């Protein structure tokens, strides 16, 4: 009994201690809560008030219309039109597979698409621009728009948005020059030039649309609206609108008349080919085309599988720009370059005469004139007039181990970048002793460089791979006295009011020494070839009222039939323009390429030849 009485003070002390601990913890918790509330309401109050207000607003990006593309006279080549686009945001579709499938099936029925096609379209576009809304259809009819608006709750993630779509008033005209646009890809978004863009934005994908994208693209705007707790716009809830800034206009150096004539001339022959017409003094491109071509309007809407196959898997390669990407031997059009190399290296003079017996023999190999012709004693002028292969074979033989021919071809632009403001281009291949010998040491070819290789190159054959643009630059350099121009299709950037913001006039690539005497004798030979009796293209250009200087070329491309070439300078003797035309499987230069070049010059000078037969009046060339 006494023991229980003695334990009471101890129990009271423990209870008091527990109570004190509980009260202490409670005070601390209330202090922490008070300090937290004070921090949220006083130091951070303004921040969280702003965030709360922002939860009541939505910001929408407003796409800027791209700038127009014009020809040199102001004719519209590319402009914009407004289209209603049916778009699907995959992130807002129902999560349940059954519901998602049902919605996509219903949507496909409304747009005349199978479920499989809807899913394939979404898959293909999401690969190109992950996270961006998928466009199922452009130019949505009004009745479908009204139906979707009335049944919006049945189609979560589906919207009809007005978008700007490129319009091409002249269809396929200059397609390889203007190029196409498309949604920026995930890979492109990582590039510095696209750092401010977002998925779904459109950028240039080819041609000048790509090169001058930063001018054409414009600046997107924004619109902020107030929404309710359900995320729906409230009446009169527009808070702020920053309108988009349209892109600038791009004026090209293209002459639509020349462009139409060149494209029609290629299409009439129905064979793959290309042409370039260029100002010899400043490099402005007046016309540039490739056949077959394509319709850039096809890229303004989702491509069907058939369109994909026709564009990307077509053996005719309609997307390739043969004027800048072609890899061809040139035949006798290369003889101008051989003449420049021989004259400047001291191998020959303007009066050097060679007896053309019809062939020369090097070792066990015989090199003959085209058609087995023999022209007898010829100097440079007459060798160019009749296109004597033997004359230039002997010049090539004399330079076979010196590298002079390759040096001058390289200086004139063969096998090297042209600098043109189009993304689709190749450097080509200028064969040389160093290159072939290097391949031979690596056992990548069966023999080292030989005299026969240089003989072949002297007449534009062998391993040579070049294109009309490089040949146009080489001829222009001879014609203008030694300036290797930088070819360009862009001429100026204008604002929406037509004021010039930027003139596009790139400096020359380099200068080479062209002796005026050499220039004069080469141009004389080319003039005689085009417009005197016995000249290789006199049958085509003999009656053209403007004096010209031109050269045919017939290039062998086994196993294909011969390729037709023609390069012409006009007017003679002080040319302003050069036109280079090539037609695959076109036969003799005078049969296909020269008549096509004639149509281009007729358009440029607005003059027509009288009684032109288009039949070769001399050797094939």
Domains of the chain, first to last: 62-218+241-247 (3.90.1310.10), 256-301+319-605 (3.40.710.10)
Greater pLDDT, 360 or 47? 360
Q: If you average pLDDT over residues 57-67, what whole number do you get?
A: 76
pLDDT over 70, % of the chain? 87
Whether the full predicted model's pTM is greater than 0.85, yes or no, is: no
Q: What's residue 11's pLDDT?
A: 62
What is the overall mean pLDDT for the chain? 88
- Residue 385 pLDDT more than 90? yes
pLDDT tens figures, 78-114: 999 988 878 888 878 888 888 888 888 888 888 888 8
Sheet architecture: strand order including 549-557: 285-291, 273-279, 577-583, 560-570, 549-557
Six-digit token string for 337: 């370059």
Q: Degrees (nearest 5) of the Cα angle 77, 161, 304?
A: 65
Among 6-15, 172-181, 477-486, where is mean pLDDT lowest?
6-15
> Mean pLDDT, to the nearest integer, of 240-244?
76
**Is pLDDT at 4 greater than 70 in this prediction?**
no
Q: How far apart are CA 275 and CA 263, in angstroms?
A: 8
Residue 127, pLDDT score: 64
Give 528-540 as a DSSP string: HHHHSTT-TTHHH
In which band, very low, low, confident or very high, does the pLDDT at 620 lie, cut at 50, 70 and 90? Answer: low
Residue 237 burial (CB < 10 Å; 0-12/13-18/19+)? middle
CA atoms 579, 612, 381, 356: torsion sign? positive
Q: What is the pLDDT of residue 612?
A: 46
Neighbours of 225 (CB within 10 A): 18
Asked if the model's pLDDT at residue 511 lies above 60, the reply is: yes
Alpha-carbon span 369 to 388, nearest angstrom: 7
Q: What share of the chain in percent tops pLDDT 90? A: 61
- Residue 613 has a pLDDT of 42
Lowest mean pLDDT among 38-42, 340-344, 548-552: 38-42
347 Cβ partners below 8 Å, 6+ apart? 341, 395, 398, 399, 404
User: What is the CA 321 to chain-centroid distance, rounded?
Assistant: 8
Quick check: 619 pLDDT over 80?
no
Residue 256, class by beta-carbon neighbours within 10 Å (0-12 exposed, 13-18 middle, 19+ buried)? buried
Model confidence at 196, pLDDT cuts 50, 70, 90, reads confident
Mean pLDDT of all residues in 585-600: 97
pLDDT at 184 over 50: yes
Quote the pLDDT of residue 129: 52
Average pLDDT over residues 129-156: 77
DSSP summary character for residue 372:
G
**pLDDT above 60 for 131:** no
Can you tell me which residue has the tokens 């096509």?
A: 596
Q: Which helix (H) or strand (E) holds 146?
A: helix 142-150
Return the pLDDT at 615: 43
Name which residue leads in pLDDT, 193 or 160: 193
Write down the pLDDT at residue 476: 98
Residue 247 has pLDDT above 90, yes or no: yes
Q: Quick count: other Cβ atoms within 10 Å of Cβ 511?
A: 12
Is residue 308 scored above 90 in pLDDT?
no
Is the per-residue pLDDT at 230 higher than 80?
Answer: no
How many Å apart are CA 473 and CA 277, to the nearest integer?
A: 10
**Cβ(369)–Cβ(358) under 8 Å?**
yes
Which pLDDT value is given to residue 310?
Answer: 82
Is the per-residue pLDDT at 185 higher than 50?
A: yes
In terms of pLDDT, which residue wins out, 110 or 523?
A: 523
Q: Check residue 228 and give its pLDDT.
A: 57
More confident site: 539 or 90: 539
């Amino acid at each position: 009994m006494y023991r229980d009485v003695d334990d009471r003070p101890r129990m009271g002390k423990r209870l008091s201690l527990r109570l004190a601990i509980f009260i202490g913890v409670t005070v601390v918790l209330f202090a922490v809560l008070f300090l937290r509330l004070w921090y949220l309401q006083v130091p951070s109050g303004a921040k969280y008030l702003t965030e709360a207000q922002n939860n009541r607003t939505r910001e929408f990006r407003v796409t800027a219309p791209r700038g127009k593309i014009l020809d040199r006279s102001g004719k519209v080549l590319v402009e914009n039109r407004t289209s209603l686009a049916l778009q699907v945001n995959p992130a807002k579709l129902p999560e349940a597979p059954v519901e998602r499938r049902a919605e996509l099936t219903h949507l496909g029925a409304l747009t005349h698409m199978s479920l499989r096609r809807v899913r394939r379209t979404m898959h293909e576009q999401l690969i190109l621009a992950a996270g961006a809304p998928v466009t199922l259809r452009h130019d949505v009819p009004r009745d479908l728009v009204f139906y979707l608006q009335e049944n919006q709750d049945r189609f979560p993630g589906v919207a009809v948005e007005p978008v700007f779509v490129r319009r091409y008033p002249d269809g396929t005209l200059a397609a390889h020059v203007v190029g196409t646009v498309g949604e920026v890809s995930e890979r492109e978004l990582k590039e510095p030039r696209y750092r401010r863009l977002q998925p779904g934005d459109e950028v240039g994908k080819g041609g000048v649309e790509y090169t001058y994208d930063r001018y054409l693209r414009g600046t997107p705007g924004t619109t902020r609206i107030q929404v309710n707790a359900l995320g729906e716009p409230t009446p009169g809830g527009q808070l702020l609108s920053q309108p988009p800034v349209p892109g600038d206009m791009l004026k090209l150096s293209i002459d639509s008349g020349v462009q139409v004539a060149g494209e029609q001339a290629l299409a009439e022959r129905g064979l793959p080919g290309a042409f370039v017409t260029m100002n010899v003094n400043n490099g402005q491109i007046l016309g540039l085309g490739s056949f077959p071509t394509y319709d850039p309007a096809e890229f303004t809407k989702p491509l069907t599988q058939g369109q994909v196959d026709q564009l990307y898997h077509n053996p005719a390669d309609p997307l390739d720009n043969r004027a800048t990407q072609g890899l061809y031997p040139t035949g006798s059009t290369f003889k101008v370059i051989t003449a420049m190399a021989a004259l400047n290296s001291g191998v020959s003079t303007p009066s050097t005469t060679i007896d053309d017996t019809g062939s020369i023999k090097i070792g066990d190999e015989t090199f003959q004139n085209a058609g087995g012709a023999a022209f007898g004693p010829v100097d440079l002028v007459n060798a160019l007039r009749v296109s004597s292969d033997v004359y230039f074979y002997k010049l090539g033989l004399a330079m076979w181990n010196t590298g002079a021919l390759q040096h001058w071809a390289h200086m004139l632009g063969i096998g090297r970048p042209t600098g043109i403001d189009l993304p689709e281009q190749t450097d080509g291949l200028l064969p040389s002793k160093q290159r072939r010998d290097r391949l031979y040491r690596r056992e990548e070819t069966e023999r080292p460089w030989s005299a026969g290789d240089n003989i072949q190159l002297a007449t534009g054959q062998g391993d040579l791979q070049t294109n009309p643009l490089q040949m146009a630059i080489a001829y222009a350099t001879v014609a203008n006295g030694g300036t290797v121009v930088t070819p360009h299709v862009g001429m100026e950037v204008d604002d929406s009011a037509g004021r010039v913001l930027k003139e596009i006039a790139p400096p020359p690539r380099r200068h080479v020494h062209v002796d005026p005497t050499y220039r004069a004798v080469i141009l004389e030979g080319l003039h005689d070839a085009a417009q005197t009796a016995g000249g290789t293209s006199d049958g085509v250009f003999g009656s053209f009222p403007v004096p010209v200087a031109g050269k045919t070329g017939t290039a062998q491309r086994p196993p294909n039939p011969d390729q037709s070439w023609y390069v012409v300078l006009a007017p003679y003797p002080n040319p302003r323009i050069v036109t280079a035309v090539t037609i695959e499987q076109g036969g003799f230069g005078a049969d296909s390429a020269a008549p096509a070049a004639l149509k281009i010059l007729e358009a440029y000078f607005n003059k027509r030849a009288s009684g032109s037969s288009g039949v070769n009046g001399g050797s094939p060339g």
